[in-house]
Amino acid sequence: MKVAEGVYRVPARAANAYLVEADNGLVLVDTGLPGSEKRILKAIEGLGRKPADVKLILLTHRHLDHIGSAAALKKETSGMLVSHPFEKPYVAGTLVIITPRAWSLYARIVRRVLAVVSSTMKLFRLIKYHPVHVDEAADEESVLEKVGLDGSIVWTPGHTKGSVSLFLNESRVAIIGDLLTSKRGKLVEPMFMENTSQTKSSVQRILDLDPVTLCPGHGKPLPPSTVRVKERAAQSVKMETKKEEDIDLEGLAKDLSAEAA
């Protein structure tokens, strides 16, 4: 689905991936849950391109629904894999991926359900994450220069400490991962955040770039006029030790039902 000139949304399993055309090839932002590689490779083919045209794979943050197919796509494309340094050990599998704190009663209920679903899927091997080495840090200025992309990788913590967004100068599109989520025609805070005050500051950092379109990891791209961020007391949360993975249950259910049909 075309978002802007040279920017395309790919509905991967449980989350959006995005393809961006650069001077020296394609940039892929996020990779969906494990098993999303076929959808993304088909989208690349639909643009009249080859897997080898993907020169850069940027991960906005460490959660499974965004890094799940990174290993498979890195192998298929030989693209350079990039994340923020804070996220690198989680992608490599040396630190445990957990779901951040839930900031509402509904989110706490969903969080518990997700924990059960995640455990069940791992037990029956319905989802298996393959750790992968991150090649470059997202804060290296040369990362986008290598692929000839006119833009910037912006550190946007809040959902996770190492969350990043990709801002494209020409189209003024911001690909924001889970900084915000699209819901009922609005861009709102995600249910899970490590730090609410950081989320608010990161949203403002993106808005200060004067984007035309914001592309979230979940839901449809929307203009900045639809952003709604709640006023909250500044709070942060300590990382937990329990292993839980952040999965969009509704999106996953749709994916599984579609594949069963």
Domain boundaries in the chain? 2-260
- CA 72, 138, 236: angle at the middle one, nearest 5? 100
Q: How many residues does the chain have?
A: 261
14 vs 261 pLDDT, higher one: 14
Across all residues in the chain, what is the average pLDDT? 85
Residue-wise pLDDT for 16-27, tens only, equals 999 999 999 999
**Is 2-260 a domain of CATH 3.30.200.20?**
no
Evaluate the CA torsion angle 59, 63, 65, 71 in order and state its sign.
positive
Q: Tell me the sheet residues that pair with 166.
A: 153, 175
Question: What pLDDT does 100 receive?
Answer: 72
Instruction: Give alpha helix (H) positions in 183-248.
Output: 196-207
Residue-wise pLDDT for 59-95, tens only, equals 999 999 999 999 999 999 999 999 999 999 999 999 8
- Cα gap 107→94, rounded to integer Å: 27
Q: Compute the radius of gyration of the chain from its Cα atoms.
A: 17
Per-residue confidence band for 239, with pLDDT thresholds at 50, 70 and 90:
very low
Question: What pLDDT does 118 receive?
Answer: 59
- Cα gap 215→219, rounded to integer Å: 8
Do residues 29 and 69 make contact, with C-beta atoms less than 8 angstroms apart?
no
Do residues 135 and 81 make contact, with C-beta atoms less than 8 angstroms apart?
yes
Question: What pLDDT does 192 receive?
Answer: 85
Residue-wise pLDDT for 191-220, tens only, equals 889 999 999 999 999 999 999 999 999 999
Highest averaged pLDDT of the listed ranges 68-82, 139-153, 183-197: 68-82
Residue-wise pLDDT for 104-137, tens only, equals 665 566 556 565 555 555 544 557 889 999 999 9
